[in-house]
């Protein structure tokens, strides 16, 4: 007994002595991560320019065959520099040059190599994933959960949207990442009891900002959420048991060796690194080659103004004419087209569109058996044989893409469905937009025919309720800082109708200005945009507004954060084809009045300026900047927009 006690004491001392800590730095040394194994539990902490952004936070995974969260010792961190360069038309930046520090930190358990934590550090992003080794001939394992945590400094505040409980909301379709944000709230809550949807924004008091998300998730894993454990400690959560009506697992079945998706942490003293980060796509690789040279563009969409009854032949023909008049590439034909138009007449519509140079996107229900969403076409997208038959029909008729709706949560089985739809669609040259869905996690680069996802309280809510219209500016001043920073966002906005109805005389009231509608076409990024414009806008909207909506690009070369605060106002700039578009919107009662410096424009260049007066009356003028500065004046629900040649 005495000997045993002595032995345990010695083991304890040995472990304490052997607690190892390794320090990793970003290429220029701004970000420092310390990795340790104190008491056998792997952990990391993050500093930016010597300031603490994450306190010691746990790492590790729990498998059904091994607990890789404790009893581990850090043996080594192999550090090297990695570089990559890629072109991607579907994200905020068309050409990305990536340089990072990679550190492979190896952990032993019971004297054997058990797991590597692979870190990547740039000057704005920290990311890590787990590489799990096979264990004594065990190749099939189940990942039951992760210890991966994020412990924030005291006084951090949160900008988060709660994850819905499963099988709630419209036709039991939740969770589908369609909840409202709480802004600047203290830490310590857990949403509505089920944590928060990614991406999650935190403010490190007056020291800076932190965005936590994940990327590289596909059918080999589950999509995760962020759970609050207590006070300032948050951790990765797996899907909820009730998703998919209780079918499917909350765990991930994997084949060893296995690499998990990446956990990403983007940090900065301002919001610029978060608005400008490309981390979601930097860390992934294409999963297949594009079957054709996919193109991108703008389109019209009757459903947002005209709802279900507008999905008929005559109205869609009118929207094709409208798209042609705008010089747009497509129309999106929403739910019930199979009943209200039918397949034969859809072929006629496709042919008519072709004669006008306008292609078609078609809506589909993802079901399946995971919720009650009744809209048809159903049962065409959930299984390979009918899906491929449908897609062959689309290809024959030149259909450009699909919008698939009403998915069933984040379980591995559902992540596999997203991947299967994308993979099959590529075989037939079809682009894919998801709605009622999860957040995309690096999918623009992983799947070359992927376009965008909803995963936001999108424009439909402006039609459904006045509350969403009243809060439109607040939300527009949130999404470019949070949801849209990590993935393309199919919002379906830029309404020029005064009311959300085809007669433009009934329905909810738009509170925002015409310039606001134009500004969000720049602020919200997606390479295929189906705007909430209506044919009557050719006559009843200002000519300058219609002209801008004809001209606005959908593919961007660069993005720059200028100023703003989530939920209050935003000013940012995007560049396309040698022109900068500087856009701002204001949600506060107080007008935003400030001078901004705009060195991105060529000297003495003439700019087109779209501005609002205090009553939200828009105007379009040609101006020249004085000393490279512009005096912003944005009333509540108003906006401004400057367009001009780049330096």
Token couple for 587: 């949600």
Q: What is the smallest separation between the CB atom of 310 and Ca ion, expressed in angstroms? A: 17
- SS3 state at 382: coil
Q: What is the smallest separation between the CB atom of 583 and Ca ion, expressed in angstroms? A: 24
> Omega before 249 cis (within 30°)?
no
Note whether 14 and 6 are within 8 A (CB): no
> Omega before 199 cis (within 30°)?
yes
Q: For residue 311, give every residue at least 6 positions away whose Cβ sits within 8 Å of its Cβ, in sequence order, or none.
A: 302, 303, 333, 334, 335, 336, 337, 340, 341
Q: What is the smallest separation between the CB atom of 373 and Ca ion, expressed in angstroms? A: 10
Report the distance separating Cα 444 and Cα 512, nearest Å.
31
Q: What is the smallest separation between the CB atom of 257 and Ca ion, expressed in angstroms? A: 38
Q: What is the smallest separation between the CB atom of 12 and Ca ion, expressed in angstroms? A: 55
Bridge partner list, 202: 158, 210
Report the distance separating Cα 253 and Cα 410, nearest Å.
14
Nearest CB to Ca ion, comparing residues 104 and 171:
171
Q: For residue 13, give every residue at least 6 positions away whose Cβ sits within 8 Å of its Cβ, in sequence order, or none.
A: none
Nearest CB to Ca ion, comparing residues 350 and 457:
457
Interaxial angle between packed helices 543-551 and 514-523, expressed in degrees from 0 to 180 and rounded to the nearest 10 = 10
Token couple for 443: 């999918």
Q: Which residue is nearest to Ca ion (CB)?
A: 436
Q: What is the smallest separation between the CB atom of 178 and Ca ion, expressed in angstroms? A: 6
Bridge partner list, 558: 575
Nearest CB to Ca ion, comparing residues 267 and 457:
457
Nearest CB to Ca ion, comparing residues 436 and 487:
436
Point out which residues bind Ca ion (CB under 5 A): 436
Q: What is the smallest separation between the CB atom of 462 and Ca ion, expressed in angstroms? A: 12
Which run of H or E residues covers position 200? Answer: strand 200-204
Note whether 267 and 279 are within 8 A (CB): no
Residue 3's CB is within 10 A of a number of other CB atoms, namely 7
Note whether 264 and 213 are within 8 A (CB): yes
Q: What is the smallest separation between the CB atom of 454 and Ca ion, expressed in angstroms? A: 5
Q: What is the smallest separation between the CB atom of 170 and Ca ion, expressed in angstroms? A: 8
Nearest CB to Ca ion, comparing residues 211 and 432:
432
Q: What is the smallest separation between the CB atom of 404 and Ca ion, expressed in angstroms? A: 12
Note whether 494 and 510 are within 8 A (CB): no
> Omega before 451 cis (within 30°)?
no
Note whether 375 and 435 are within 8 A (CB): no
Nearest CB to Ca ion, comparing residues 175 and 507:
175
Nearest CB to Ca ion, comparing residues 177 and 548:
177
Nearest CB to Ca ion, comparing residues 252 and 471:
471
Token couple for 136: 């004594």
> Omega before 368 cis (within 30°)?
yes
- SS3 state at 461: helix
Q: What is the smallest separation between the CB atom of 508 and Ca ion, expressed in angstroms? A: 16
Q: What is the smallest separation between the CB atom of 520 and Ca ion, expressed in angstroms? A: 17
End-to-end CA distance of the chain: 79
Query: How many residues can be counted in the chain?
Result: 647
Sheet architecture: strand order including 225-230: 21-25, 31-36, 43-48, 51-58, 149-151, 233-237, 225-230
């Amino acid at each position: 007994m005495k000997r045993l006690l002595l032995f345990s004491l010695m083991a304890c001392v040995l472990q304490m002595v052997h607690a190892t800590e390794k320090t990793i730095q970003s290429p220029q040394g701004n970000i420092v991560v310390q990795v340790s194994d104190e008491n056998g539990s792997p952990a990391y902490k993050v500093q930016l320019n010597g300031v603490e952004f994450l306190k010691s936070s746990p790492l590790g995974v729990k498998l059904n065959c091994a607990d890789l969260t404790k009893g581990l010792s850090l043996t080594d961190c192999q550090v090297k520099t990695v570089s990559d360069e890629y072109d991607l038309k579907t994200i905020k930046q068309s050409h990305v040059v990536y340089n990072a520090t990679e550190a492979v930190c190896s952990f032993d358990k019971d004297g054997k190599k058990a797991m590597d934590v692979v870190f990547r550090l740039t000057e704005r992003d920290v990311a890590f994933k787990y590489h799990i080794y096979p264990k004594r001939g065990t190749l099939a394992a189940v990942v039951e959960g992760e210890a991966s945590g994020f412990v924030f400094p005291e006084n951090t505040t949160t900008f988060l949207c709660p994850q819905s409980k499963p099988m709630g909301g419209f036709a039991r379709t939740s969770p589908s990442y369609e909840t409202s944000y709480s802004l600047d709230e203290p830490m310590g809550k857990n949403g509505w009891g089920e944590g928060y949807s990614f991406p999650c924004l935190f403010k490190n008091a007056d020291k800076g900002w932190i965005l936590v998300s994940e990327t590289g998730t596909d059918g080999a894993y589950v999509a995760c959420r962020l759970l609050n454990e207590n006070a300032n400690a948050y951790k990765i959560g797996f899907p909820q048991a009730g998703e998919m009506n209780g079918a499917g697992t909350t765990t991930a079945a994997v084949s060893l060796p296995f690499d998990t998706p990446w956990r990403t942490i983007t940090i900065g003293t301002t919001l610029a690194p978060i608005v400008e980060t490309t981390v979601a796509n930097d860390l992934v690789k294409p999963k297949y080659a594009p079957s054709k040279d996919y193109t991108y563009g703008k389109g019209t969409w009757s459903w947002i103004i005209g709802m279900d009854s507008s999905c008929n032949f005559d109205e869609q023909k009118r929207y094709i004419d409208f798209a042609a008049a705008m010089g747009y590439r497509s129309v999106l034909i929403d739910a019930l087209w199979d009943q209200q138009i039918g397949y034969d007449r859809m072929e006629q519509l496709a042919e008519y569109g072709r004669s006008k140079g306008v292609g078609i996107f078609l809506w589909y229900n993802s079901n399946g058996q995971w919720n009650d969403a009744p809209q048809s076409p159903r049962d065409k997208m959930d299984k390979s044989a009918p899906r491929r038959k449908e897609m062959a029909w689309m290809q024959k008729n030149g259909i450009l893409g699909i919008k698939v709706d009403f998915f069933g949560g984040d379980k591995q089985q559902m992540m596999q469905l997203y991947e299967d739809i994308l993979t099959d669609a590529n075989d037939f040259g079809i682009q894919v937009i998801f709605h009622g869905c999860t957040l995309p996690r690096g999918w623009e680069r992983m799947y070359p025919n992927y376009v965008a996802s909803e995963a936001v309280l999108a424009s439909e809510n402006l039609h459904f309720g006045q509350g969403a219209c009243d809060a439109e500016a607040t939300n527009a001043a949130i999404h470019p800082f949070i949801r849209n920073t990590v993935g393309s966002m199919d919002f379906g906005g830029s309404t020029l109708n005064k009311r959300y109805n085809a007669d433009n005389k009934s329905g909810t009231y738009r509170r925002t200005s015409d310039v606001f509608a134009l500004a969000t076409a720049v602020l919200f990024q997606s390479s295929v945009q189906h705007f909430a414009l209506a044919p009557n806008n050719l006559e009843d909207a200002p000519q300058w507004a219609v002209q801008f909506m004809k001209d606005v690009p959908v593919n961007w070369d660069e993005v720059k954060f200028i100023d703003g605060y989530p939920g209050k106002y935003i000013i940012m700039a995007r560049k396309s084809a040698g022109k900068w578009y500087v856009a701002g919107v204001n949600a506060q009662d107080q007008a935003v009045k400030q001078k901004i410096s705009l060195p991105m424009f060529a000297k003495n260049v003439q700019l087109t300026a779209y501005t609002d007066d205090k009553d939200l009356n828009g105007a379009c003028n040609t101006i020249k900047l004085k000393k490279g500065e512009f005096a912003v004046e944005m009333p509540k629900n108003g906006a401004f927009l400057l367009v001009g040649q780049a330096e």
